[in-house]
Structure 1
Amino acid sequence: MREKPTPGLLPTPATFINAQSAITGLRGRDLFSTLRSVAAHGLRHPVRSARHVLALGGQLGRVLLGETLHTPNPKDNRFADPTWRLNPFYRRSLQAYLSWQKQVKSWIDESGMSDDDRARAHFVFALLNDAVSPSNTLLNPLAIKELFNSGGNSLVRGLSHLFDDLMHNNGLPSQVTKHAFEIGKTVATTAGSVVFRNELLELMQYKPMSEKQYAKPLLIVPPQINKYYIFDLSPGNSFVQYALKNGLQVFVVSWRNPDVRHREWGLSSYVEALEEALNVCRAITGARDVNLMGACAGGLTIAALQGHLQAKRQLRRVSSASYLVSLLDSQIDSPATLFADEQTLEAAKRHSYQRGVLEGRDMAKIFAWMRPNDLIWNYWVNNYLLGKEPPAFDILYWNSDNTRLPAAFHGDLLDFFKHNPLTHPGGLEVCGTPIDLQKVNVDSFSVAGINDHITPWDAVYRSTLLLGGDRRFVLSNSGHIQSILNPPSNPKSNYIENPKLSGDPRAWYYDGTHVEGSWWPRWLSWIQERSGTQRETLMALGNQNYPPMEAAPGTYVRVR
């Protein structure tokens, strides 16, 4: 079913923390500085502040008398239990909390602070308001019920979970029961072999799952920030198996998890290693050119590789490029980027160079604060207040399987967000060659997510416009990960498409067509047109020069 997107319902780009924040980090001193600025502003304008205090006092008085002044967001599951509406005590506590939230927002909106200062203040107070929610205490009606139902055992289990997370999970609530999964047995199970290995990556070739296969292979490049098996979780949502069953020859890069010995690996190091893998794919399959697919930072890497090949006049080795939630235009407008000043960027660089790597757990902490109600306080309630185990969910297991970034690559990413180099020819130099994406005349297919807080969809759209060649862009109805993991079996899947790319993402959206279902089949027909002729399937993996070394998922993916 196809229909036009509803006018007035333009999806909002990410509001708070995003990919730049995760790479740069947020310093506590910057957050406290914002609080001091807000407090100082309130003292300098006592009349305005007093007016809002009195307004809040008036609302709290009406709340104590039993009035219901505010309705919580129906999508806010924190207050879904009917006790919050029916019990007089809980109804009043919820109404007091909502009154405080709305009055603080009104006070900031009506203050005389600059736009940037207001944005920073909204950001900090949103984090504080989420933290002080009455649902985060032992008075949460769900916690009270569980306490009585378990005879007090829920409190004992919750304290045990809290202690375990303080010791082993960087102080954050665990999001998944990790012992429920094992790499190679319950996730990353598709049959294949490592056919090439260098210092930075392993290249895996997968066994065919179709009677015929296309001549040109697909090389999937995951982000260096995560393990590759987001493309091969369980069979029901494995992108690798979907491609194999539809006749594609599939190769996947598995990046090595670096340590302090690899601090000098930068973007050029990754591009050189990926070029080696590209040539191995060509040698094994006999294909002149290869289809590339990159996700998140993997998209940046394949774009840099193509720019490097173009500068060497060897771009003919690439047949097409698919970009999944990838930023090439790094301009992101959000309150969190207002904290990323020169001093913060230099401090982040210095920190990673001193340690040799940027720890994955540090990035995970920032990512969790992107959506604190979903990724922190939800598990705070479940794990500690209710004393329950976190769910056994394969995506969350993959998400918690952190990797590190070498200091040099971390520095390259910081410079990428600081200078936005790919928006002008020669702004980025890789492997000694200047990059000009407009000259990369390779057909491309880009996917973004409406609810993506990490790589906002409008920035991904602008990234598509930087590329040469025939460009396609689709907007999935999901977030960062679910936009990638979007199999046809998902009944909630839908996306927006519009073959005419205008300079304004809003115009593209309003002129677009709403399509029910997953974008995977649309991409499949697109990639098959660019994969050459079909032939009888060759079941053997590797060749004489690149024989199978060990079974997938290989060695590098297991390195912690």
Structure 2
Amino acid sequence: MATNKKIIADPPPPKLDMDAFAHNLAQLVEEGGKALAAYIRPREEGKKDDLADDVADAVKTIGTVAEYWLADPQRTVEAQARLMTGYLGVWTAALRRMSGEPAEPVVAPDPRDARFKDVEWSTNPFFDALKQTYLVTSQWADAMVKEADTLDPHVKHKAGFLVRQLTNAISPSNFILTNPELLRETVNSSGENLVRGMKNLTEDLIEGKGDLRIRQTDMSAFEVGRNLATTPGKVIFETDLMQLIQYEPSTPSVKKVPVLIVPPWINKFYILDLTPEKSFIKWLVDQGLTVFVVSWVNPDARLAAKGFDDYMRDGILAALDTVLKATGEEQAHTVGYCVGGTLLAVTLAYLAAKKDTRVASATFLTTQIDFTHAGDLKVFVDEEQLGVLERRMKEFGYLEGRKMASAFNMLRSNDLIWPYVVNNYMKGKAPFPFDLLFWNADSTRMPAANHSYYLRNCYLENNIARGKAEIGGERIDMSKVTIPVYDLATREDHIAPARSAFIGAGLLGGPVRYVLAGSGHIAGVVNPPSKQKYQHWTGGEAKGEFDDWLKSAQEHPGSWWPDWVAWFSALHPEDVPARPIGGGHFNAIEDAPGRYVRERS
């Protein structure tokens, strides 16, 4: 029987416009020269590179893994055979597919791995084989570290981290000729994407003064005080280290006992005051709280000698004095985020030793007190690396903000580094405007003395948890902290792991409400109830094993913020009429968010 069906052929593959490509190739070479000049010029003017020590340490660390396998010839042969077997399986499957036969993949990427989402990674036998070869190699390299049984635990941890950085870097998704999406982009635009990408690279090298500062967002889309950190308030007090902001009340009455928030100095405070829809600070004000926030200075060499005790005295304690005088109250509630929470914990132990009862409660947001399980950040901290870092800080008086920012980005390099390399420099596209990534790029410097104390007493020696740390002449004993504590951890935290926060909560001597939020270090904290995102778990005391606590914990949908307000309100439920800023004792220095937070590194 005849059929009237019309057969529609697949569209022909795109053809490369050779004239346009040749023109763009010439432009690419020209732009490449500009990028090279942007890299070289600062070095000709005396800029020092500090990569040599980092590279030497990495080579030494990975070399210890190689020595383990090469020390035993039988072990070496077995390791090589394992890798070759994986390659042979991929090759055999690829030949079957090219012959038109079905073949199951030897290895498949994690479904959450966005690098291989393009359909050609699975449908095209060449790219599928390339992907599987890469996965076999990276999994083999990871196993080589994990199975090196005699390695020192710290060296093994560091080697595993470095191997992941290396395998993430050599992924075929990061290169034009091995990424089907990039190949299509290059053919369709006749290489114009590469010209745009080289221009982006030049701009980022210039912005980084010869170092590559990869843009994760459109930095021109945001401005602190214009569309970020806009909750109305005034700076009412300042020291060399911080400004204290008091926020205008938005309710006719407020809770009697005020709240003092201590953010990390490694980042800027406005992570808690992003856009109005995401602002934790604005939400607290709208719940009828009198809110004060410490805004740390972005320090320079003049503050090189400022240590942990200075940040306590001229930061938290000076802020506490001001809060109580401005409100006329005898006590204040406190909230500490990340390293701001660590400093707050130390301050509370100091106050307990002094029999000072001015703090009514403490809330720790993704805070570590015990650093035994501090995650991948520990790979950057050992005596040798600290010695190198301290020599660098002594030269300048501080640690450059980009150093810490780079370390945090490396913890999630497949999310925070390589997608932007591909997007910015190979696709030639501008990054999408995102307030959180603007904040992430707005890094701060760290004074040499303070950062050295923090790394040694927390990450290297864990002295706070062990009761061996001293501050202001007092030995720190966390068991003396007996005030009520709300301790929030986040389940996917790569900076302050939930298990680590749980152990720290168990060191405290008073009642602790330990709560686990969904998502990670930032998104799990900055999670307004209106978004109805993630979830949180509540359970018993933070005692015993974390896994046992989690098994018996109750899951609740949505944000943890309402749970915190209920806990907070039960401590001191009394209301008073809304207070004027400064309370008649302090005049406004300037409008929030103040000038300290606007200082860029």
TM exceeds 0.5?
yes
Instruction: Please say if residues 494 and 516 of structure 1, whose CA atoms lie closer than 8 Å, have aligned partners that are also in contact.
Output: yes
1:154 aligns with 2:181: no
Inter-partner Cα distance in structure 2 for 1:341 and 1:436: 25
- 1:307-318 superposed matches below 5 A: 307-315=349-357, 317-318=358-359
Out of 306, 327, 331, the residue aligned to residue 348 of structure 2 is: 306
Which residue of the other structure, out of 201, 207, 210, is the alignment partner of 1:168?
A: 207
Counterpart of 2:109 in structure 1 is 72
| Alpha carbons of structure 1 residues 110 and 413: separation in structure 2 relative to 1, 3 Å | closer
In the aligned structure 2, how far is the partner of 1:203 from the partner of 1:99? Answer: 53
Pair 414,526 (structure 1): closer, same or farther in 2 beyond 3 Å: same
- Of 103, 106, 127, the residue aligned with 2:140 is 103
The alpha-carbon deviation at position 381 of structure 1 amounts to 1.1
Q: Secondary structure at the match of 1:32?
A: helix
CA drift of 1:358 comes to: 1.1
CA distance, structure 1, for counterparts of residue 53 and residue 493 of structure 2? 20
- Match for 1:184 among 206, 213, 225? 225
Q: Is the alpha carbon distance of 1:353 and 1:107 closer, same or farther for their aligned partners in structure 2, counting shifts above 3 Å?
A: closer
Contact 1:233 1:394 in 2 (8 A): yes
- Equivalent residues in 2 for 1:21-420 (5 A)? 27-65=54-92, 66=94, 67=103, 68-111=105-148, 113-114=150-151, 116=153, 118-139=156-177, 140-169=179-208, 170-273=211-314, 274-315=316-357, 317-332=358-373, 337=378, 340-417=381-458, 418-420=460-462
Q: Is the 8 A contact 1:352 1:410 kept in 2?
A: no
Asked if structure 2 preserves the Cα contact closer than 8 Å seen for 1:26 and 1:339, the reply is no
> Residue 515 of structure 2 aligns to a residue in which SS?
strand
Q: CA deviation at 1:107?
A: 4.2
Q: CA deviation at 1:190?
A: 0.8
> Secondary structure of the equivalent of 2:571?
coil
Aligned-pair CA distance for 1:397: 0.6
Q: Tell me, yes or no, if the aligned pair for 2:53 and 2:388 is still in contact at 8 Å.
A: no
Match of 1:440 among 468, 476, 481: 481
Q: CA deviation at 1:448?
A: 0.8
User: In structure 2, do the counterparts of structure 1 residues 405 and 440 end up closer, same or farther at CA, with 3 Å as the change threshold?
Assistant: same
1:27-56 CA-to-partner distances (Å, cap 9, x unmatched) read 322210122223333333333323333343
Counterpart CA distance in 1 for 2:487 and 2:149 is 41
Q: In structure 2, how many angstroms separate the alpha carbons of the residues matched to 1:446 and 1:488? A: 19
Residues 315-334 of structure 1, C-alpha deviations (whole Å, 9 max, x = no match): 2x111100001111122365
> Is residue 514–residue 541 contact of structure 2 (8 Å, CA) maintained in 1?
no
Residue among 525, 529, 541 paired with 1:488? 529
2:246 partner amino acid: Q
Structure 2 letter corresponding to 1:72: P
Cα offset, 1:59, TM superposition: 3.3
In 1, Cα distance between equivalents of 2:246 and 2:183: 53
What does residue 586 of structure 2 align with? 546
Contact 2:375–2:497 (Cα < 8 Å) also in 1: no
Whose radius of gyration is greater, 1 or 2? Answer: 2
Contact 2:374 2:497 in 1 (8 A): no
Quick one: distance in 2 between partners of 1:112 and 1:190?
54
Q: Give 2:58's aligned amino acid.
A: L
C-alpha distance 227-210 of structure 1, shift in aligned 2 (>3 A): same
State, as a whole percentage, how many aligned pairs show the same letter. 37
User: Compared with structure 1, are the counterparts of its residues 103 and 196 closer, same or farther at alpha carbon in structure 2 (3 Å cutoff)?
Assistant: closer
Q: TM-score, normalised by structure 2?
A: 0.85
Provide, for residues 327-363 of structure 1, a one-character-per-residue CA deviation record: whole Å limited to 9, x for no partner: 1112236576366332222332232123211111111
Classify the secondary structure of the residue corresponding to 2:566. Answer: helix
1:445-464 matches, cutoff 5 A: 445-464=486-505
Which TM-score applies when normalising by structure 1? 0.91
Contact 1:266 1:406 in 2 (8 A): yes
C-alpha distance 373-533 of structure 1, shift in aligned 2 (>3 A): same
Cα distance in 1, alignment partners of residues 263 and 148 from structure 2: 45
8 Å CA contact 1:213–1:247 kept in 2: the answer is yes
Tell me, in whole angstroms, the C-alpha distance in 1 between the residues paired with 2:53 and 2:284. Answer: 39
Match of 1:514 among 555, 558, 567: 555
Partner secondary structure for residue 524 of structure 2: helix
**CA spacing shift, 1:299–1:59, aligned 2, 3 Å:** closer
Q: Does the aligned pair in 2 maintain the 1:442–1:469 contact within 8 Å?
A: yes
Q: For 1:392-428, what per-residue CA distance to the aligned partner results, in whole angstroms no more than 9, with x for missing partners?
A: 1111111111111111101210221222222244x22
Separation in 1 of the partners of 2:271 and 2:377? 27
Q: C-alpha distance in 2, partners of 1:531/1:162?
A: 55
User: What is the rounded CA distance, in whole Å, between the counterparts of 1:159 and 1:209 in structure 2?
Assistant: 49
| Pair 1:111–1:193, CA change in 2 (3 A) | closer
Residue 444 of structure 1 and its aligned partner are, at CA, apart by 0.5
Alignment deviations for residues 79-105 of structure 1 (CA, whole Å, 9 cap, x no partner): 011110001211111121122223334
Cα RMSD for the two superposed structures: 2.0
Matches within 5 A, 1:493-508: 493-508=534-549
Structure 2 gap ranges (5+):
1-51, 95-102
Measured after TM superposition, the shift of residue 57 of structure 1 is 2.8
Three-state SS of the structure 2 residue aligned to 1:482 is coil
CA distance in 2 between counterparts of 1:336 and 1:414 reads 10
**Structure 1 residue runs without a partner (length 5+):** 1-24
